[in-house]
Amino acid sequence: MIVAVLSTFAVAALAPLLEKRLGRRAAPLLALVPAGLFVSLARHVPEVSAGGARTDALGWIAELGVSLSFRLDGLSLLMALVVTGVGAVVLLYAGSYMEGHPRRGNLLGYLLAFLAAMLGLVLSDNLVGLFVFWEATSLLSYVLIGFEREKAEVRASALQALLVTGGGGLALLAGFVLLGQAGGSLEIGALAANAEAVKASPLYLPALLLVLLGAFTKSAQVPFHFWLPDAMAAPAPVSTFLHSATMVKAGVFLLARLHPTLGGTPEWTGIVTTVGAATMLTGALLAVGQRDLKRLLAYSTVSALGSLVMLVGVGTPAALAAAMVLLLAHALYKGALFLVAGIVDHETGTRDVASLGGLFRALPVTAVAAAAAAFSMAGLPPLLGFVSKELLYDAALRASPAPLLLVPVAVGSNMLLVAVALSVGWGPFTGRAGETPKAPHEAPAAMWAGPLLLGLGSLAAGLFSGAISPFVSSAAAAALGAPHALTLELWHGFNLVLAKSLATLVVGVALFAARGRIRSLAGSLAPLAAFGPGRLYRAGLAGLVRLAKGTAALLSSGSLRQDLRIVLAATVALAAPLLLTRAVLGAPDALRSVRPLEAVLALLVVAGAVATLLAGSRLAAVVALGVTGFGVALLFLVFGAPDLAMTQFAVETLSVLLFVAVLRRLPRLQSRSAPRARVVDALLAGAVGAVMTGLVLAVHAEPLRSSLAPFFRESSLALAKGRNVVNVILVDFRGLDTLGEITVLGVAALGVWSLVRLRIASRGAGANGGRS
Amino acid sequence: MTLLLALAIGALYAAGTYLLLRRSAIRVVFGLALLGYASNLLVFTAGRLSREGPPIVPEGAATAAATSADPLPQALVLTAIVIGFGVQAFALVLLKRTCQEAGTDDVDAMREET
Amino acid sequence: MNLLLVVPLLVPLATAAATILLARSPRAVRAASFAGAAAFLAAAVALLGATLDGTILVTQAGAWAAPFGISLVADRFAAAMVLVAALLLAAVVAYSVRGVDAARERAGYHPLLHVLSMGVSGAFLTGDLFNLYVWFEVMLMGSFVLVSLGGERAQLQGALKYVVLNLVSSALFLAGAGLLYGSVGTLNMADAAVALRELPAQGLPSVVASLFLLAFGIKAAAFPLFFWLPASYHTPPMPVAALFAGLLTKVGVYALVRVLTLVFVRDTAFTGPLLLAVAALTMVTGVLGAMAQGDVRKILSFHIVSQIGYMLMGLGLGTRLALAGTVFYVLHHIVVKANLFLVAGAMRRAGGSFSLDRLGSLLARSPLLAAAFLVPAVSLAGLPPLSGFWAKYLLVRAGLEAGNGTIVAVALAVSLLTLFSMTKIWNEAFWKPAPAGADAAPAPLTTAERASLLGPVLVLGAVTVAIGLGAGVLYRFADAAAAQLLDPDLYVRAVLGARDGRM
């Protein structure tokens, strides 16, 4: 399995090349990859249906329990079949849909790479491994939404999707780490086996909330649903594949996968069910008012995702089984409808449902596919959608906490969705022909084959729902964490559920008939959308950028003085309290007596420094600085360091000469600072000085016991054949210091030379770098 | 005397710091020079002052006097002086070139034109 | 005398000398420069190879036993740092064939690169605090000249800030070294570690330690000491900026790790929370600073700051996993960050500007360049499976295992903003159509330019991918390095093993 996923990535990388070589034949060829995967996966259906599972593992960071471990059980097989099946159809479709597009090869490559990532996601049994694929799908979704990158709003939608799902992804990462801590493993199977410990852990709630945040953003749950309709900026095959059939279901999949570990608690049921129900209703309400085919579908997808999340939240065997069937049914009918929307757009040049009609004549095959899918979505027997809706109602009725709340929400949402289904799959094909920018013709077979196949799939799966029962049951069992046997039937007899289904259809059809009025009502309510979470996202982003600009202005004033003040203030702030609380500050014992010459020299040094401070002319300052320098040299001499004194004299002389030579060419000294700035600077400078004085005194609080000084005094002559101990240290004991010192001098000389010699004229900002 | 030198060192740091914070880039370089003196004197002092003469092995003796000044801080300071000189010379030329290019020695005026 | 420890210092020095002597022939200079970089790389590989089994290599320079002479020491962390530095140098030298103008090359560009590398590798390998100061100065002096080389106005102004703030750091460091000697009577890190064990944990040495923290904090560009970095890093040519971005701040981080795990180890009740607070503020201010910028170079510069925060986070947490995270992060970051600056140079060449307002449609113009950008950018943003993800994962896990949710929340939020920043560059420079009214598009990259500019970028990109896919290998290494860091006795015994007389 691992090899299959990884090699799919490799094929994806080659896709653009292949397209360049083969042109239009590339897409069908590439579609064979997922088709082949589909077939080889399908061979495992009997085994998995019987409760078997296959695993495969590759260590990654074994010590930390991070691995690529795959598990093929009912749940992952169901998802994998959806991914590869829809994937094959979409690739075939995309080749034709993008005919003539200069970057068709890239799109095919991205789609295939996404497919591989999605496959890896659903097969993963290790949290971190799963996360790797999870983020890969987010990133590929960004690239795919932004495929038509020339438009600014396309780029903004891509970014929005990435930031919302990426932000959730980060929460998910933290949640996974906590989960691993609570359960002692990163393997999902091992965690499920340890579920009691996980639920008893104090980390349970934070882990749960973080994981839910990740799942909800990915699966476009309220209030994060807004990114999904905006993601419709992507080309139709992308919307079909990522934003309807697969990626947005990743969150649902994850919840189902972790249900055995995390589910069943009041927190789980409460939060997941509520958010799911709210999303189901919100999506349906927002959908009916739309005019754009793809936005209609997008909001109805939000609603379906809400239903799925709600079902996983309820978590009863019936609910999980319903979720599995709905997942499959939705992938089939919604995939088909998205592809149909793409065909309609492609052939007529518009997606506005108000101006579409009577397309059956021009697009008969597409119309058949559309009708099959729409009827499934509307829940008409004998399609799979009917079966799934029956199960949904049944699960809602039997939900333990609040059937009274869930049932009306589910029925109400589905009434609205019937209208949506008919608006997309029925309305455009019937009635009077509308005025469209292009005169429609039937799409090429490569395009209608997909929706037709998926539409017929809805029919076949509905008709033979008994046959797929064991397989669907095995998926539900994986989500349940216990064996579960369910028999799907089209006919349950006359009961409450059937009554609700009938009511749904009747009201839905009525709503469809009134769609014109609903749309104008929605149009008048449109300004309310400005208060949605999408606005919050945009305002948040803008606010963040403002905050960033403010911070940047505050922190990088560009003023050297300001920067220095902060650094010096930090120095005082860190060192002064430590000095006051931890060090002994007293008059040092060492060398308490003061000799007149020494005192004079010390005063000379300070006087020179003060004079430098006050000097009004460059020359005076240099002289004052020199006084300090020579004073320091004399202090060295007095305290037994003639070598230092000599060096200091020499260096001082050179420095003064250098200063004079350079400063002659510079402007005169001016006093520019404001009085207040001077006071602040003087206080800061005084504090720095005080800290340093304090440090010197503190060091003298204890006698220095060094084994080094005696060693050097004793070994200088004996071991290193030198009488001047300081020189011996410099050239021998610490010769490496001297090597570095000489290097510094050499580089300084090189630097002075190059500064004087090399002048590249400034040509405004950004004129440097590269020999352009 | 140690106390006196500790105070002198503090004064040098204070004066150097104050100069670093001036708008005139020339004064900034003076400030760097003062900080250099201050640090050197600090290292020298922290290694303990001695009036017992330099650490030199007298002719005829095998070792330097045990009371002579600690040679190691001296070696460190010597290295630091030389490095400091190189750095300062470079800083000075850099200052000159910068003032020439910027047309001023006012560091507050040396901001990027954005 | 273990040559392995000396060669990484001598090869750059010899190369610097050779490139000065050959200055008349630019070709010979480049050849010598590249040969030197390759030899440095080989030496670094050998050095790392010798430390992999846990050996801590020690050489006493001049054969004077510790603590009297200067010890050169290489544990796993140090050796790995030298290796990454060498890799980076080789990439930068190759990139410079087309990435730097001839005038700069004639003015000592190549010798300076090697001197800088010598300083960096000295800083990694020395076991002596004053010697570390000397190597810092070598490195700084090299960087001073490199940052000002060329003498353009913006460059000089940036250089002045860079020089002044770094000299403040040097002054603090020097004072710290002197005061440490004044209180414990030694400069050898291992020896100081032993001496400090006998003193109270919160005594004077911990006060002196604050000077080291400040000095290294400035070098590492930690909050609130990072100002020199965004003021200067965008001004020199991109290969220079790449070398700086990759190495210089990390030397500061390395020094912090070294002194806090070896010398000043006993005051974690104070340093731990301090480092974590600094880490959080560094991450946040850095990333916010980046979000405000519209120039690729400045965006990248601020992100260096932000990511230093992650490295400090691991050090502040102080557990084995956290330190492994820091080691992993540092190694990954050097490659990725330097690479991004190199890419920025190539973007300028292909798109005519560093400004996002004036760049556009680079994806259409050069898909190879786009790929070259994507790898380090995605890694920097911490997306799997590239190196940055694992670095982030280790730190996040370490933080949560240590029960510190706050720092983890900050780290994750900042990583989202980093992603935002990278997509901003991608959106504006690669996706967006070239703006109307911008200068005419520069000529497409020639084959020679592709080789010189994109070749090194792709090699570094391959390293990033390899680290990501083979994360287990680097993790095991980082974990072993962290274990070594957490057991200072190993270091002390290796250095002070034989204390008497000449060896």
- Confidence band (pLDDT; 50, 70, 90) for A402? low
Counted residue by residue, chain C has a size of 503
Residues of A in contact with B81 (CB under 8 A): 644, 647-648, 651
Query: Domain A559-705 carries which CATH code?
Result: 1.20.120
Look at residues C188, C176, C186 and name the one whose alpha carbon lies nearest to residue B80.
C176
- In the prediction, which pLDDT does C1 show? 61
Residue A655 has pLDDT above 90, yes or no: yes
Chain A residues closer than 8 Å to C431 by CB: 146, 149-150, 155
Q: Do A696 and B42 touch (CB under 8 A)?
A: yes
In this prediction, residue A665 has a pLDDT band, given cuts at 50, 70 and 90, of: confident
Q: What are phi and psi of C188, to 5 degrees?
A: -65, 130
Q: What residues in A contact B37, CB-CB < 8 Å? A: 605, 609, 628-629, 632
Q: How far is B46 from chain C (nearest CA, A)?
A: 5
Q: How far apart are CA A161 and CA C310, in angstroms?
A: 26
Each domain of chain A, given as residue ranges in start order, spans 1-161+227-262, 267-527, 559-705, 706-764
What's the CA gap between B110 and C160, in Å, rounded?
10
Average pLDDT over residues A214-223: 96
User: What chains are in contact with B, requiring at least 3 Cβ pairs below 8 Å?
Assistant: A, C
Q: What confidence score (pLDDT) does residue A766 get?
A: 38
Pick C63 or C373 by higher pLDDT. C373
Judge whether residue C213 has pLDDT over 60: yes
Residue C447 has pLDDT above 70, yes or no: yes
Closest CA to C305 of C227, C214, C398: C227
Q: Which residues contact A347 (CB under 8 A, 6 or more apart)?
A: A359, A362, A363, A438, A440, A441, A442, A443
| Closest CA relative to residue B85, chosen from A554, A653, C116 | A653
Among A13-27, A264-278, A325-339, C191-205, whose mean pLDDT is lowest? C191-205
Q: Which domains does chain B have, with CATH numbers?
A: 2-51+68-109 (1.10.287)
**Given pLDDT bands bounded at 50, 70 and 90, which one contains residue A431?**
confident
Total structural domains in chain C? Answer: 1
Residue C441 lies in a domain: no
C115 part of a folded domain: yes
ipTM, 2 decimals? 0.96
| DSSP character at residue B109 | G
Mean pLDDT along residues C87-100: 94
Contact C175 A704 (CB under 8 A): no
What pLDDT is recorded for position A769? 39
8 Å CB contact between A77 and A475: yes
> So what's the pLDDT on residue C36?
97
Among B91, B109, A767, residue whose Cα is nearest residue C236: A767
Name the pLDDT band for A557 (thresholds 50, 70, 90): low
Residue A737 is nearest to which of C103, C134, C442, comparing CB atoms? C134
The Cα A577–Cα A221 span in angstroms is 51
Beta bridge partners of A70: A56, A124
C503 found inside a domain: no
* pLDDT category of residue C343 using cuts at 50, 70 and 90: very high
Q: How far is CA C441 from the centre of its chain?
A: 34
C chain contacts of residue A739, beta-carbon cutoff 8 Å: 13
| CB spacing of C181 vs B107 below 8 angstroms | no
All residues of chain B having their beta carbon less than 8 Å from the beta carbon of residue A702 are none
Residue C59: beta bridge partners? C72
- Give just the sign of the alpha carbon dihedral C113, C119, C120, C122: positive
Tokens describing residue A343: 């065909």
Is B91 touching C (CB cutoff 8 A)? yes
The answer on pLDDT for A441 being more than 50 is yes
Chain C: residue nearest A696 by CA? C179
- Residue A34 confidence (pLDDT): 96
* pLDDT value of position A760: 59
Nearest to A693 among B9, B21, B76 (CB): B9
**Which pLDDT value is given to residue C53?**
95
**pLDDT higher than 60, residue C426:** yes
- Split at pLDDT 50, 70, 90, the class of B105 is confident
In this structure, what token pair is assigned to residue A59? 């260590």
Q: Residue A181 pLDDT > 80, yes or no?
A: yes
Give the CA radius of gyration of chain A: 38
Tens digits of per-residue pLDDT, A47-104? 999 988 999 999 999 999 999 999 999 999 999 999 999 999 999 999 999 999 999 9
Place of tokens 């997008």: A298
Helix (H, G, I), strand (E, B) or coil at C82: helix
Provide the pLDDT for residue A400. 67
User: Taking CB atoms and an 8 Å cutoff, what residues of chain B touch A617?
Assistant: none
Taking contacts as CB-CB distances below 8 angstroms, the residues of chain B near A634 are none
User: What CA–CA distances, in Å, run from C179 to A277, A686, A696, B48?
Assistant: 68, 20, 7, 10
Chains touching chain A through at least 3 C-beta pairs below 8 angstroms are B, C
Position A762 pLDDT exceeds 80: no
Cβ separation C204–A582 shorter than 8 A: yes
Ranking A540-544, B79-83, C393-397 by mean pLDDT, the lowest is: A540-544
Residue A346 vs residue A590, higher pLDDT = A346
User: Would you say residue A765 has pLDDT above 60?
Assistant: no
How far apart, in whole angstroms, are the C-alpha atoms of residue A126 and residue C397? 16
Contact C144 B76 (CB under 8 A): no
A542 interfacial to chain C (CB closer than 8 Å): no
- How many Å apart are CA C472 and CA A63, to the nearest integer? 8
- Tell me which residue range forms the domain holding C105: 3-434+446-496
What is the rounded average pLDDT of the residues A164-181? 96
Higher local confidence (pLDDT), A295 or A706: A295
Q: Is B35 on the interface with A (CB under 8 A)?
A: no
CB contact under 8 A, A695 and C179: yes
Alpha carbons within 13 angstroms on the beta-carbon side of residue A454 total 40
Contact yes or no for A279/A315 (Cβ under 8 A): no
Look at residue C17 and tell me if it is in a domain. yes
C502 domain residue, yes or no: no
Contacts A596 to B, Cβ<8 Å = none
A322 residue type, one letter? A
| More reliable by pLDDT, A454 or B104 | A454
d(CA C7, CA C57): 13
Between the alpha carbon of residue A58 and those of residues A1, A331, B12, C465, the distances in Å are 11, 30, 64, 18
Verify whether the Cβ–Cβ distance B9 to A729 is below 8 Å: no
Asked whether residue C437 carries a pLDDT value surpassing 80, the answer given is no
B32 touches chain A (CB under 8 A): no
pLDDT band at C231 (very low <50, low <70, confident <90, very high): confident
pLDDT, position A528: 74
Q: Among all residues of chain B, which has the CA nearest to that of C133? A: B80
- At A768 the pLDDT is 40
Q: What percent of chain C has pLDDT over 90?
A: 80
Shortest CA distance from B29: residue in chain C:
C164
User: Do A771 and C155 make contact, defined as CB atoms within 8 angstroms?
Assistant: no
DSSP states along C271-321: HHHHHHHHHHHHHHHHHHHHHT--BHHHHHHHHHHHHHHHHHHHHHH-SHH
Interface of B with C in 44-83 (CB under 8 A): 44-48, 72-73, 76, 79-80, 83
- φ, ψ for residue C75, nearest 5 deg: -100, -170
Q: Tell me whether B44 touches chain A (CB under 8 Å).
A: yes
What are residue C108's phi and psi, to 5 degrees? Answer: 100, 20
Q: What is the count of residue pairs from A and C with beta carbons less than 8 Å apart? A: 323
Residue percentage of chain A with pLDDT more than 70: 97
Mean pLDDT of chain A: 91
Q: Is the CB of residue A371 less than 8 Å from the CB of residue A424?
A: no
B101 pLDDT more than 90 = no
Residues C254, C330 contacting (CB under 8 angstroms):
yes
Q: What pLDDT score was predicted for residue A224?
A: 95
Residue with the larger pLDDT of the pair C164 and C105? C164
Q: In 3-state terms, what secondary structure has residue A126? A: strand
Q: How confident is the model at residue C334 (pLDDT cuts 50, 70, 90)?
A: very high
**What is the average pLDDT value for chain C, to the nearest integer?**
93
Q: For residue A59, report the phi and psi dihedrals to the nearest 5 degrees.
A: -65, 150
pLDDT at C500 over 50: no
Write out pLDDT tens, residues C139-181. Answer: 999 999 999 888 788 888 889 889 999 999 999 999 999 999 9
Find chain C residues with C-beta within 8 A of A59's C-beta: 472
Q: What is the mean pLDDT of residues A556-582?
A: 89
Is cis: bond before A223, omega within 30 of 0? Answer: yes
Chain B contact set for C177 (CB, 8 A): 43, 76
CB contact under 8 A, B39 and C174: yes
Please write the tens of the pLDDT for every residue from A693-710.
999 999 988 888 888 999
Query: So what's the pLDDT on residue C465?
Result: 96
Residue B114 has pLDDT above 90, yes or no: no
Q: Between residues 153 and 192 of chain C, which touch chain B (CB distance below 8 Å)? A: 153-154, 156-157, 159-160, 163-164, 167-168, 170-171, 174-175, 177-179, 181-183, 187
| Confidence class for position C24, pLDDT limits 50, 70, 90 | confident
Nearest chain A CA: its distance from B15 CA (Å): 6
